Structure 1
Amino acid sequence: MTSLKKKAVGGVIWSGVDKSSTMLIQFVFGIVLARLLLPEDYGLIGMITIFITVSQAIVESGFSRALIQKKEANQIDYSTTFFFNFLISICIYGILYIVAPFIAGFYEEPLLIDLIKVVGLNVIVSSFAIIQRTILIKKINFKAQAIVNITSGLIGAFVGIGCALSGLGVWSLVLQYLSRNFATSVLFWIFNDWRPSFIFSINALKKLFNFGSKILASTLLYAAFQNIYLVVIGKIYKSEELGYYTRATLFKQIPATLVTTIMQNVTFPILVDVIEDDERVRKIMKRSVRLTSFLLFPMITILIAFANPLVLVLLTEKWLPTVVLLQILAIGVIFFPINAINSNFINAKGRSDLFLKLEIINNILIVITLGITYSFGIEIIAVGYVIVSFIGFFTYAYYSGKYIGYSGFKQIIDMLQYAFVSIFLTAGSYFLWSFIEDQLLYLVLGICTVGIGYIVCAHLLKFEEYEEIKSIIRKKIGKAS
């Protein structure tokens, strides 16, 4: 096994441990919180999500990607970026503090003033972790990241539940968020031995910003326009309806975020290393798309088919309006991880300008669909989101086809076998156990049937991804024994 392949395999394994464990923690403890809190509480957080997300994007300024893309990044680059991130975070928090009353006035929710002032502190806290995380990603060291993220996730979860049990309502979500990110920053400094030097180079900043500025603009556009759904729903509809939408979004993001983050964090630094070799890049892209599809499709089909028992069992009847939204939005995330792979290729190619243009196109589509759908209810708004996600896939994949001959059509062909198997198994499981009235039993039997059936089919059909994962697991067990 080559050194690069060892890095890739190790990265996938530890990134998988990291994200699966983190998502499990968020999922389990999030369910507990959702049962203790009200949809309105999540709706209030949803109203300010766009402002915090955009603020964090500005603080990061695209420098993380720029440092990963720069093969010869040095101490001057890291230190300059660290101090720049920190200074910008102070400025951004000051702006949030000042505009908090205006945001609260826009939504006609006075409580948002204090919520923004407290949640905004995370902008400063998170700035301390940016360079530490970047260095570990650049080294493809996901073991340290896994330890940090799992530990901080548990800390945040226990703080949030403790606050909810104490009757703090929406503040439970705020304090969970803050405590988790504070723990993350502290632990990154413990697990990574990098320390900043008192150096600030304008020249280094300019060079990094030349690449990073386009990533920043793209990230800002993505953050603003992806979260514009929350702004529109929060302004036009009731806070509890926004709560249903945010809960559906959180559910559908579990498989998408899990797979996307693993593949994106691992493939980007590897693509940078081999970007001049079109054949190797094409092979990496193809394997990434196939592995992503292999992991993603059964999770998506389960979400869609078993959304009703899932919501009833985990969240109780007060969250039932989430079901239809979840089923619609889950369709829209099918291509999300594949988009991330295609965008990784574009950025690894050094074409952050092209990445920006594609984001602008997609965001124009978001505005158009929102303008058409906003008055027809949140379900139709969700349908608009799905349409934009499909179009977005083909815009990104077009350039993979142009540069390395791996078009959107070829990517879809690589996905189809996993899609067909997942749909067949999930539909069969759905109808097989539909006579069962106990929703918990129905959910458990349904998921287990799909899971076991998928493994059996992968074995019989000799899916390469299944065989490779099985081989990796055997090797790991062999080493452990």
Structure 2
Amino acid sequence: MSILKRKTTIGLVWSSIDKFSTLMIQFILGIVLARILLPEDYGLIGMIAVFLAISQSLVDSGFFTALVQKKDVNTNDYSTIFFFNIIVGVILYGILFMGAGFIGGFYETPILADIIKVIGINIIIASTTIVHRAFLTTKIDFKTLAIINITSALLGGIVGIYLAVNGYGVWTLVYQSIVRSLSIAILFWILNQWKPSLIFDRQSFNALFGFGSKLMISGLLKIFFKNIYLVIIGKIYKAEELGYFTRATLFKEIPSTLVTTILQSVTFPVLVKVIDEDLKVKNLLERSVKLTGFILFPIITTLLFFAKPIIIVLITNKWLPTVVLLQILSVEIIFHPLQYINLNFLNAKGRSDLFLKLELIKNTLTVIAILATYKFGLIPLCISYVMVSFLGFFINTYYTKKYINYSAFGQLKDLFPYLLVSVIATGIGFFISEIFNSHLTQLITGIGISLGIYYLLSYILKFKELTEIQNLIINRVRAK
């Protein structure tokens, strides 16, 4: 095995450890905090999420990807972008600081002004870490990145729990995020070999900005439309209702994010290599779609059937309004990775123009869906959120059908067996669990029975995905 291939393999392992561990730490600590804090505390942070996300995207300006993609990146490049990021970070924080009152007035929530002035400091802190992260990524040093991300998530979580217990309310979430950002920045300076030089190379900047600016525009559009539901809910409804929405979104995003991340990291490099061989490409996409369905449908049906005991056991009765939102949004879990599978195909073909075209169509649908439902309440708004993803799936498969004849209906046909088995298994588990009065007993018994039946039916029906996963686990154990 070549040194590069070995480093890439090790990097993939550490990258997976990083993403999985960080996500699980945030989820577990988030449950602890949600049991202590109030829904409106999360709603207040949700109101300003879009402003922070856009600011961070502007600070990055696509330079992270530009640095990673550049083959002959040097000290001048790193130092130039490092100082540019800091300057932009300071400017954007100043704009947010001065506009804090306007944002608070927009939402008719004065406390937001104070929150923005404090939490906005994260923008400056994060501006010092972009180049460090790019340097380690270029060196395929995902082990150091994993140590930094996992350690900072733990530190932020510990501080957050301490503050929550001591009655800091919404400020718990503010200071927790700052502690995590500071931890990341400090660890980057300690563990990373790169240090900036007092250099600003205009030629280097122009070259990198020429590439990164296009990514920045695309990123800004994505961030805006991803967060537009938060803006609308925060403006029209109460902060606590936005809190219910953000909590339901968190529960449904964890499985879809994990599966999407794994599929992207594994399938995209393979797609690039076989992109000119239509049959191999179609076979790879079919395997990806089936594996996605096999893994995610049991999770989706579990959230649909057991949403109430999950919410009550994990984050208590005060979050009960989250139940119906979670049940609606859980349907969307399957479409997120499916969209990435189909869009990865276009990226592998080098058709970023078609990628952007499809994204613009979906963004238009998002606006239409919001305008059609926002007056009728949070539940219709959530239904529109799912419908946009459903229609987006059909839009994203247009070119997949055109190039390799793998249509949306073909993909749904491949998914149907896993959906049917999941509904049967979880339905049986749910009805058996109903004999118990304890929500905890319902959860443990019901999910245990559901997974057991799902495994048994998958074995009887000879789902290839079950065999592949079993063989992967066996080979990993033997390798150790």
Fold-level similarity (TM above 0.5): yes
Cα deviation code 1:392-415 (max 9, x no counterpart): 122222233444554434433443
Q: Indicate yes or no: 2:116 matched with 1:116.
A: yes
Measured after TM superposition, the shift of residue 158 of structure 1 is 0.4
Structure-2 residue corresponding to 1:103: 103
Who is 2:227 aligned against? 227
Instruction: State yes or no: 1:327 paired with 2:334.
Output: no
TM-superposed CA distance for 1:287, in Å, is 4.0
- The AA in structure 2 aligned to 1:28 is I
CA contact (8 A) 2:44 2:239 kept: yes
Structure 1 residue 43 displacement after superposition: 1.1
The 5 A counterparts of 1:72-83 are: 73=73, 75-83=75-83
The answer to whether 1:421 aligns with 2:421 is yes
Residue 453 of structure 1 aligns with which residue? 453
Q: What residue is the counterpart of 1:186 in the other structure? A: 186
**Whole-angstrom CA distance in 2 between matches of 1:205 and 1:33:** 43
Task: State the match for 1:149 in structure 2.
Answer: 149
Contact 1:256–1:336 at 8 Å: present in 2 too? yes
Code of the residue aligned with 2:444 in structure 1: it is V
**Aligned residue in 1 for 2:31:** 31
Do the aligned residues in 1 keep the contact of 2:430 with 2:450 (CA within 8 Å)? no
Which residue matches 2:43? 43
The corresponding residue for 2:237 is 237
Deviation at 1:75, TM superposition (A): 5.0
> What is the aligned partner in structure 2 of residue 479 from structure 1?
479
Q: Between 262-271 and 161-170, report the one with greater CA deviation.
A: 262-271
Shift in Å, 1:115: 0.6
Distance apart, 1:292 and its partner CA: 3.1
Q: Match of 2:167, SS?
A: coil
Cα distance change, pair 228–476 in 1 and its aligned pair in 2 (3 A): same
- 2:400 corresponds to which residue? 400
State the alpha-carbon separation in 1 of the partners of residues 445 and 14 from structure 2.
Answer: 30
Asked if 1:359 corresponds to 2:356, the answer is no
Question: Residue type of the partner of 1:240?
Answer: E
Give me the whole-angstrom Cα distance separating, in 1, the residues matched to 2:242 and 2:227. Answer: 12
Question: In terms of mean alpha carbon deviation, does 176-185 or 193-202 score higher?
Answer: 193-202
Counterparts of 1:274 and 1:81, CA distance in 2: 35
TM-score (normalised: structure 1): 0.89
Q: Secondary structure at the match of 2:168?
A: coil
Q: How does 1:209-358 map to 2 (within 5 A)?
A: 209-268=209-268, 282=282, 284-358=284-358
Contact 2:306 2:443 in 1 (8 A): yes
Distance in 1, Cα, partners of 2:144 & 2:354: 33
> The residue matched to 1:108 in structure 2 has which SS?
coil
List per-residue Cα deviations over 1:114-152 (Å, max 9, x = no partner): 111111111222233334434555566544433332222
Query: Could you give the per-residue CA deviations for residues 196-254 of structure 1, whole angstroms, max 9, x where no partner exists?
Result: 45554444444444443333222212211221111111111111111111111111112
Is the CA contact 2:275–2:348 (under 8 Å) kept in the aligned structure 1?
A: yes
Post-superposition CA distance 1:40-74 (Å, at most 9, x none): 11111111111111111222223334445555655
Cα deviation, 1:142-168, whole Å, max 9, x if unaligned, reads 444333322221111101011111111
**Alignment of structure 1 residues 3-82 onto 2, 5 Å:** 13-70=13-70, 73=73, 75-82=75-82
Instruction: For residue 335 of structure 1, give the secondary structure of its aligned residue in structure 2.
Output: helix
* Alpha-carbon separation, structure 2, partners of 1:85 and 1:404: 42
| Paired position in structure 2 for 1:85 | 85
Cα gap change, 1:281 to 1:118, in 2 (>3 Å): farther
The answer to which of 281-290 and 411-420 deviates more is 281-290
Q: Which runs of 5 or more residues in structure 2 are unaligned? A: none
Secondary structure, counterpart of 1:306 in structure 2: helix
The one-letter code matched in structure 2 to 1:129 is T
Alpha-carbon spacing, 1:414–1:215, altered in 2? closer, same or farther (3 Å): farther
- Mapped partners of 2:136, 2:294: distance in 1: 27
SS in 1 for 2:437: coil
Q: Measured at CA, do residues 268 and 128 of structure 1 come closer, stay the same or move farther in structure 2, by a change above 3 Å?
A: farther
Letter in 2 for 1:121: I
Q: Is the alpha carbon distance of 1:196 and 1:121 closer, same or farther for their aligned partners in structure 2, counting shifts above 3 Å?
A: same
State how many pairs are aligned. 480
List runs of 5+ in structure 1 lacking aligned partners: none
* Residue identity in the other structure for 1:361: I
* CA 473–130 in structure 1, closer or farther in 2 if over 3 Å, else same: farther
Change (3 A) 1:270 1:153: farther
| SS class of match (2:334) | coil
- TM superposition shift of 1:477: 2.4
Give 1:280 shift. 5.8
1: distance between equivalents of 2:420 and 2:124? 46
Q: For 1:155 and 1:393, locate their aligned partners in 2 and report how far apart those are by CA, in whole Å.
A: 38
Query: Distance between the aligned counterparts of 2:282 and 2:6, measured in 1?
Result: 18
Indicate the larger mover: 111-120 or 462-471.
Answer: 462-471
Judged with a 3 Å threshold, the aligned counterparts in structure 2 of structure 1 residues 447 and 189 are, in CA distance, closer, same or farther, namely farther
Structure 1 stretch 357-366 or stretch 6-15: which is displaced more? 6-15
Q: Percent identity?
A: 54
Matched letter for residue 294 of structure 2 = F
Conservation of the 8 A alpha-carbon contact between 2:293 and 2:418: yes
Change (3 A) 1:160 1:106: same
Question: C-alpha deviations, 1:379-433, integer Å up to 9, x for none?
Answer: 0000000110111122222233444554434433443333232222112211122
Question: In 2 relative to 1, CA 78–314 (structure 1 residues): closer, same or farther, beyond 3 Å?
Answer: same
